[in-house]
C-alpha cells in the first residue's frame, strides 16, 4: 500500500466522518478531532504539520487551530549510539571528550529531536549571563538521524494529494500547495538548531534585567547544525504545580508576572514567543519562569505595537468600534458593507465573554475568529498569531493560578503605551493645530 494512499485514506476519513453531523459547530469540532487523531497516526511529519496549523489562525478555523494544540509531540527514543554519531560528526570529537559525562538515556524525545543530559567539562562564558562553571548539568538537543530526510519524503508523498485537494472548491481558498511549501521551509529551519540557539540568546538578552525570567544559557562551542547545548533547567511543568505550591511558590504572583512578560514581548520588545504551550514552560524551584524551544517567533513593529495596545484597551473596555478601527491598522479590514453587522456581532461577543469576571479570553478569541471566517474577512498572519499567543498566555496564567484575569494585567501596559504615544513630541505637534482650532471655535460661540 503506497504512502500516498495511506495519507489520503486517513485524512479523507476525518473529513467524511466530520460531515455526518448536521450542526455546523459540532461538525467542525468533530472534523478537527478526527483530523488531529489521523495526523497522530501518520507520524512525526504530520504531527509537525498539525503544530504548524495550530499557529495559523489566519488560515484555518478556530476549532481546528485549538484542537491541534493537543497534539502530543512524543515519539519512541532513537538509539544512543546513533545520537552519539551525530554529535561526533557535527562537533568533531568523541562524546566522552566533549563532555565530562553523557547520559545515553534521553530525557525527552520528540518528532525532530531528542534531548540527553550531560555535564560541562570546561567552564564557559555564555553570550548572555554569568559564567557556567565546569560540572554544570547540560541539556543536549540532537536532531534525530534521518529526521529531515524522512519528513521531506512524507511531504513529497503528500504533494500530489495536496495538488488534487487544492482543486476542490471548498479548499481552494486555503492555497494548500503554498502552505505545504511554507511547512517544508519551516521544518528545514527547525532542523538547524543554530537558529533556535540564536533566538534563545536574544530572549536572554531582552530579559537580562528580569530576575524572575530564565532562558537556558547556550554553550556555543558545543552547538552545531544538528546539536544544541544549553544549561539544563530543572523544574515543574504546568501540570505539576501542586508540588510547586507545597514548596511555597506564589503561583498567583508568578501568573501575573508571566502575563506581564508576554505583554512586554509584544508591546515593548517587538519579538514574542509564539509557540508557548505548557511543554515549553517550567517553573523552577527558585520561583522563576523558564522559557524553552524558540522555534516559532512573532514580531511587531513600533506602529503595530501602538495599534495592538489600542485594540487591547478597546477589548478590555468592550468598545467593539474602536477595536475594529485599530484592527484595520493591523491589516484586518472589514468591508464597508459588512461593518455594521460585524460591529454588532463583536459587541455582543464582548458582552457575553468579557463584560464580567471571570473574563473568558479563549471563548472571545474563538468567537471572534469564527465571526471573521463567517463574514469572509481575511485575518492577517501576524494578527492571528497574536490572538493565538494571547489565548495561550491566558491558559498558561490560569494553569498557574485559576482566578487570574489577564485583561487586568493588560490594562496598565496598554494605558502606558497609549499615553506614551500621545505625549510624543511628533504626535503632539500633529494634534496641537486641531486642538487650537477647536478652542477658537468654542471662544467664537
More confident residue, 147 or 133: 133
The closest of 314, 125, 112 to 221, measured between CA atoms, is 125
**Is the CA virtual torsion 322, 324, 330, 331 positive or negative?**
negative
**pLDDT average, residue stretch 146-152:** 77
Does residue 358 have a cis bond before it (omega within 30 degrees)?
Answer: yes
Give the integer Cα–Cα distance in Å for 299 and 308.
12
More confident residue, 250 or 199: 199
Catalytic residue, from 73, 206, 275, 293: name it: 275
| pTM > 0.85 | no
Phi, psi of 213 (to 5 degrees): -110, 135
More confident residue, 252 or 433: 252
Is 275 annotated as catalytic? yes
Q: What pLDDT score was predicted for residue 437?
A: 61
Give the integer Cα–Cα distance in Å for 127 and 131.
9
Structure confidence by residue, pLDDT tens digits, 340-375: 999 999 999 999 888 877 678 878 888 888 888 888
Q: What pLDDT score was predicted for residue 46?
A: 77
- Alpha carbons within 13 A on the beta-carbon side of 321: 1
The yes-or-no verdict on residue 16 having pLDDT over 80 is no
Grid coordinates belonging to 329:
491598522
The alpha-helical segments, DSSP class H, found in 55-192 are 62-68, 80-91, 95-98, 147-165, 176-190
Q: What pLDDT score was predicted for residue 58?
A: 67
| Residue 278, burial from CB neighbour count under 10 angstroms (0-12, 13-18, 19+) | middle
Structure confidence by residue, pLDDT tens digits, 269-307: 888 887 777 678 888 988 899 998 887 788 888 888 888
Q: What pLDDT score was predicted for residue 170?
A: 64
**pLDDT average, residue stretch 41-61:** 74
Q: What pLDDT score was predicted for residue 272?
A: 85
- Whole-number Cα distances in Å, 83 to 80, 87, 106, 145, 233: 5, 6, 10, 7, 21
Give the integer Cα–Cα distance in Å for 181 and 173.
16
Give the integer Cα–Cα distance in Å for 221 and 138.
13
Which of 88-92, 103-107, 385-389 is the least confident region? 385-389
pLDDT category at 434 given cuts 50, 70, 90 is low
User: Taking all residues of the chain, what is their mean pLDDT, rounded to a whole number?
Assistant: 81
DSSP symbols for 12-78: HHHHHHHTT-SSHHHHHHHHHHHHHHHHHHH-HHHHHHHHHHHT-TTTS-HHHHHHHTT-----PPP
The yes-or-no verdict on residue 83 having pLDDT over 90 is yes
Q: At what angle do helices 3-18 and 24-42 cross, to 10 degrees?
A: 160
The yes-or-no verdict on residue 436 having pLDDT over 60 is no
Percent of the chain residues topping a pLDDT of 70: 83
The yes-or-no verdict on residue 33 having pLDDT over 80 is yes
Give the integer Cα–Cα distance in Å for 315 and 324.
9
Collapsing DSSP to helix, strand or coil, 113 comes out as: strand
The yes-or-no verdict on residue 78 having pLDDT over 90 is no
115 forms beta bridges with: 108, 141
pLDDT category at 438 given cuts 50, 70, 90 is low
Collapsing DSSP to helix, strand or coil, 358 comes out as: coil
Amino acid at each position: 500500500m503506497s504512502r500516498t494512499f495511506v495519507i489520503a485514506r486517513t485524512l479523507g476519513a476525518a473529513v467524511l466522518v466530520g460531515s455526518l453531523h448536521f450542526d455546523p459547530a459540532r461538525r467542525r469540532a468533530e472534523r478537527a478531532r478526527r483530523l488531529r487523531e489521523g495526523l497522530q497516526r501518520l507520524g512525526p511529519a504530520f504531527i509537525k504539520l498539525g503544530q504548524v496549523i495550530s499557529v495559523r489562525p489566519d488560515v484555518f478555523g478556530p476549532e481546528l487551530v485549538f484542537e491541534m494544540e493537543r497534539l502530543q509531540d512524543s515519539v519512541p527514543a532513537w538509539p544512543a549510539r546513533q545520537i552519539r554519531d551525530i554529535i561526533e560528526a557535527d562537533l568533531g570529537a568523541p562524546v566522552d571528550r566533549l563532555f565530562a559525562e553523557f547520559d545515553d538515556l534521553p530525557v525527552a524525545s520528540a518528532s525532530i529531536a531528542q534531548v540527553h543530559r550531560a555535564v560541562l567539562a570546561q567552564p564557559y562564558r555564555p553570550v548572555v549571563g554569568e559564567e557556567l562553571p565546569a560540572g554544570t548539568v547540560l541539556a543536549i538537543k540532537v536532531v534525530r538521524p534521518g529526521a529531515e530526510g524522512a519528513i521531506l519524503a512524507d511531504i513529497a508523498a503528500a504533494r500530489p494529494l495536496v495538488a488534487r485537494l487544492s482543486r476542490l472548491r471548498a479548499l481552494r481558498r486555503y492555497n494548500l500547495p503554498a502552505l505545504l511549501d511554507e511547512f517544508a521551509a519551516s521544518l528545514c529551519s527547525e532542523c538547524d538548531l543554530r537558529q533556535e540557539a540564536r533566538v534563545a540568546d536574544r530572549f536572554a538578552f531582552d530579559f537580562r534585567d528580569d530576575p524572575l525570567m530564565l532562558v537556558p544559557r547556550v554553550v556555543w562551542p558545543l552547538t552545531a547544525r544538528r546539536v544544541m547545548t544549553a544549561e539544563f533547567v530543572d523544574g515543574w511543568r504546568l501540570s505539576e504545580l501542586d508540588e510547586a505550591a507545597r514548596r511555597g511558590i506564589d503561583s498567583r504572583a508568578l501568573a501575573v508576572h508571566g502575563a506581564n512578560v508576554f505583554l512586554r514581548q509584544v508591546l515593548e520588545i517587538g519579538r514574542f514567543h509564539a509557540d508557548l504551550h505548557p511543554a515549553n514552560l517550567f517553573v523552577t524551584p527558585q520561583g522563576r519562569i523558564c522559557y524553552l524551544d524558540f522555534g516559532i517567533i512573532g514580531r511587531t513593529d513600533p506602529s503595530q505595537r501602538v495599534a495592538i495596545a489600542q485594540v487591547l484597551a478597546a477589548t478590555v473596555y468592550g468598545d467593539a468600534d474602536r477595536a475594529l478601527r485599530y484592527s484595520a491598522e493591523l491589516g484586518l479590514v472589514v468591508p464597508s458593507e459588512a461593518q455594521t453587522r460585524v460591529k454588532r456581532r463583536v459587541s455582543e461577543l464582548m458582552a457575553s465573554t468579557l463584560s464580567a469576571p471571570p473574563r473568558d479570553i479563549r471563548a472571545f478569541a474563538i468567537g471572534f475568529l469564527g465571526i471573521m471566517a463567517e463574514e469572509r474577512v481575511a485575518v492577517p498572519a501576524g494578527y492571528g498569531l497574536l490572538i493565538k499567543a494571547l489565548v495561550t498566555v491566558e491558559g498558561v496564567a490560569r494553569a498557574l493560578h485559576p482566578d487570574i484575569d489577564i485583561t487586568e494585567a493588560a490594562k496598565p501596559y496598554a494605558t502606558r503605551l497609549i499615553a506614551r504615544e500621545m505625549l510624543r513630541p511628533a504626535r503632539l505637534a500633529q494634534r496641537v493645530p486641531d486642538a487650537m482650532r477647536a478652542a477658537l471655535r468654542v471662544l467664537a460661540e
